[in-house]
Structure 1
Amino acid sequence: MSARRSRGDGGLHWDERRQRWIASVTTGYTPDGKRIVRRASGKTKTAAKEKLREIVRTVEDGHAVAEHGYTVEHAVRDWLTYGLTGRAPATIETRRILAEQHVIPALGARKLRELSAEDVDRWLARKARTLSTRTLQDIRSILLRSVTRAQARDKVRRNVVLLCSTPTGQRGRPSKALTYAQAQALLELDVTTTYGAYVVVGLLTGARTEELRALIWDDVDLLGQPDTDLPVPPHMKVWRSVRLDGDTKTRKSRRTIALPGRAVEVLRSQRERQLRHRSRAGAEWQEHGLVFASETGTPLDAANVRRGFRTVLKAAGLDAGEWTPRELRHSFVSLLSDSGMTIDQIARLVGHTGGSTVTELIYRKQIRPVIDDGATAMDGLFPRAEP
């Protein structure tokens, strides 16, 4: 009969199902008093006990011990749940979709402690056949941050994702701009919807999609001050966006720009249309002061805008699948450049870093306080129809 194991040596038993010897030992207790049991397996008693001794030494040295059943999916879902605190809802949803489409199906079942740099390299190489470089960077970042969080919580010893670089992916579709004829076709439409107004204002001002969605009536002046010593044309303040902090993309993106005549007409009609929507909605109306809102006053999300944008393009006879809302801004820049406007002037209008800021223009007496170059150029390119 074998001698009884000494106190502290732990347990040792044969697992019939796994056909392995299982060695176990208690290494401590959780804050709520539950035992922390470490286990190791081997084909022989000696192998199982040796593996267990290695685990115990690691614990005593203060290093993490990778959990045997903890998978990549566990790590990714933990990061999605707790690692995105404070991020915008749209960002969280985008990360979740990328994780569930590209990370979890390919690597989720892999035990985290067994994940190797070769696994990650092969995964990225496969994804590079179909995904853009930007998307590859995003999915690698999701895996990297997930494993980093797991490592900080003693789920794994090292982060092998750090050893893997992002390969070059497929080239995305380059942005393009509307031709003069295509832009004219859009502007000649009878604007009867919020999305039609959105498209016209976006094309004629070059505002970013996130800036137009956040535009409020308090920042729109459809009259201006034509009778002052320095006449001020109708204009809008582009000082807000739908970003998490409500600010524009950069500090220099804040700008006040004059409105072309067509944009003024469309915005007047939009205000009247919105008053009708408000009257019909009654108690369901939610007041946010937005220029472009739903028929109950609520903010438009990116998906709303994309759908409405495509409807407008179809009505103008354009292939809606070939265009995105942000290309209204590209078209604005392209049309102004073709008209002879300088890059510096265009940079000011679209709020690019390096262009003059609104504040500088307001306090320089020799220049009017509203950037009106774009409105002047657009009025020349697309004059209003005579009444």
Structure 2
Amino acid sequence: MVNPPPPSEPKKRYRAHGDDGISWDKINKCYVGTISLGFTVDGKRVRRTARGRTKAEVKNKLDELHTEIKAGIHTPATYTIEQCVKDWLDSIERDPHTMATFHSQAGKWIYPKIGATKLKDFNATDADRFFRELAKSLSKRSLMMIKSTLRRSIRRAQVHDLIGRNVVELIDLPTGQPGHPSRAMTEDQAAKVLTTASGMGTGYVKVVKASKGRYGATHAATEAGELACGTKPHPDALITEMSREPKETTCRTCRAQLGIDDIDDPNLRLEALFVLSVTLGLRPGELRKLTWDHVDLTRGVAHIWRSASKSGDTKTPKSKRSLTLPKRAIVALKAHKARQDHERLRAGEAWHDNNLVFCHENGTPYTSDQLNWRFSKMTRRAGIGHWHAHEGRHTAVSIMSSNGVSIQDISDTVGHKSTHVTETVYRHVIVPAIRGGATVMDDIFDDNDDTQTA
């Protein structure tokens, strides 16, 4: 009898070509999964790895890697949110002020809080938690700007196949803290600024001594008693009016603030800039890039065709406009041109021929901060405190609205895309003017007024 052959032992299973490998890492005490992606041109093997506490966790991660590979996505394991944002910032070109804002917000809010997070691990829950935390201290506008930076940074990563989806686009922003809306000067305040810019006076109309004793410096003060130097007198100090001539003040800070000792005050060069800002509502960037070939003083027209943007173009196509100049603006611009011609001759070869209407004494353009500083200095000198250049635009809208200019004419003057933008952005300075129906009804029922009143 022939004995049957002994049962064969089960063959040891080997991974087929292309299968994933999972092994135990004794040193790091975890499972490691490996995917082979072939070889580079120089013969080196290309692998992607995943780590986890269990085999099931590693297998799930390997499945996600396979999905990314099929979609053509390659997210480096060490690629962080901070690197993603920096790559986007390095890839764009904006004007220096805008770039400084981007870098400042990223450095203050994004990098410290989520910068170290791996881009591939950043999910919608993380993004929502991040913005809810920021909403405790930032306004809605600041949140929108930070979201825009993150969204565009991750979108660039998508273009370069570094991530599959943009999770920032999936979340809704929280309300945030109340912001600081831009103000608008009253007609009286605007008049004071224009008078001060023309060199015909300031808002500081008297000299006072604020002291508890016999001796003390004298200060330039407004009618309301505010001191030019910003000093707050002691509650027990005796306020004594010494004179009505501000030049007699002895406080050095007051004298510097008012430019009393300045032989040639550079701020008095910019009367025309303040007139255009307050009467026509030009944007600061439009004022900085306005050139003489776009100003027709004979016809009294200014063509607003350029701005201080990356491209040099206006903010929107509708912002490109030609405006009739007020008589005061024509007079101020003529005086400004004569003054600038004298500065050009004095500068000689040092003059930078940029053909700019508003510039430094050597022809170089103003930066945004330099223009804001000069605007604020003039408003403080006028006795109305600190204002920035864009608030001159708000002032123009407010004054036009309060004097019956239609919303369409206001929108066309300031260069908005539509009246909806004017009504939305400047809603706090627009005077409601829905009076047409009431006027018609008054005309129809005018003969009943006496009887109804009785």
After TM superposition, the score normalised by the length of structure 2 is 0.65
How many percent identity over aligned positions? Answer: 37
Equivalent residue for 1:246? 312
**Structure (1 or 2) with the larger CA radius of gyration:** 2
Q: Is the CA contact (8 Å cut-off) linking 2:292 and 2:357 kept in structure 1?
A: yes
Q: Is the CA contact (8 Å cut-off) linking 2:131 and 2:174 kept in structure 1?
A: yes
Structure possessing the higher relative contact order (Cα contacts under 8 Å, 6 or more residues apart): 1
CA distance in 1 between counterparts of 2:68 and 2:195 reads 74
Q: Is the CA contact (8 Å cut-off) linking 2:301 and 2:322 kept in structure 1?
A: yes
Equivalent residue for 1:220? 295
Report whether the alignment pairs 1:198 with 2:262.
Answer: no
C-alpha deviations, 1:255-276, integer Å up to 9, x for none? 3333333323322232233233
Equivalent residue for 1:140? 147
CA distance in 2 between counterparts of 1:69 and 1:267 reads 58
CA distance in 2 between counterparts of 1:61 and 1:250 reads 41
CA distance in 1 between counterparts of 2:406 and 2:322 reads 19
C-alpha deviations, 1:29-54, integer Å up to 9, x for none? 4567654222233457x569746864
Structure 1 residues 277 and 7 mapped into 2: Cα distance closer, same or farther (>3 Å)? farther
1:278: Cα distance to partner?
Answer: 2.4
**SS at structure 2 position matched to 1:188:** helix
CA distance in 2 between counterparts of 1:42 and 1:252 reads 57
Report whether the alignment pairs 1:339 with 2:403.
Answer: yes
Report whether the alignment pairs 1:14 with 2:5.
Answer: no
Equivalent residue for 1:156? 163
- Higher alpha-carbon deviation: 120-129 or 154-163: 154-163
Structure 1 residues 237 and 47 mapped into 2: Cα distance closer, same or farther (>3 Å)? closer
Equivalent residue for 1:325? 389
Equivalent residue for 2:443? none
**SS at structure 1 position matched to 2:308:** coil
CA distance in 1 between counterparts of 2:136 and 2:61 reads 43
Instruction: Give 5+ residue unaligned stretches, structure 2.
Output: 1-11, 200-264, 420-454
Report whether the alignment pairs 1:41 with 2:48.
Answer: no
After TM superposition, the score normalised by the length of structure 1 is 0.75
Structure 1 residues 61 and 276 mapped into 2: Cα distance closer, same or farther (>3 Å)? same
Q: Which amino acid aligns with 2:356?
A: L
Equivalent residue for 1:96? 103
C-alpha deviations, 1:102-121, integer Å up to 9, x for none? 21211011122222322111
Instruction: Give 5+ residue unaligned stretches, structure 1.
Output: 225-233, 356-387
Equivalent residue for 2:321? 255
Equivalent residue for 1:231? none
**SS at structure 1 position matched to 2:356:** coil
Q: Is the CA contact (8 Å cut-off) linking 2:33 and 2:62 kept in structure 1?
A: no
Structure 1 residues 35 and 180 mapped into 2: Cα distance closer, same or farther (>3 Å)? same
Counterparts of 1:180-199 in structure 2, within 5 Å, are: 180-189=187-196, 190-191=198-199, 193=267, 194-199=269-274
CA distance in 1 between counterparts of 2:16 and 2:150 reads 42
Equivalent residue for 2:73? 64
Matched residue count: 338
Structure 1 residues 11 and 298 mapped into 2: Cα distance closer, same or farther (>3 Å)? same
Equivalent residue for 1:80? 89
Q: Is the CA contact (8 Å cut-off) linking 1:333 and 1:346 kept in structure 2?
A: yes
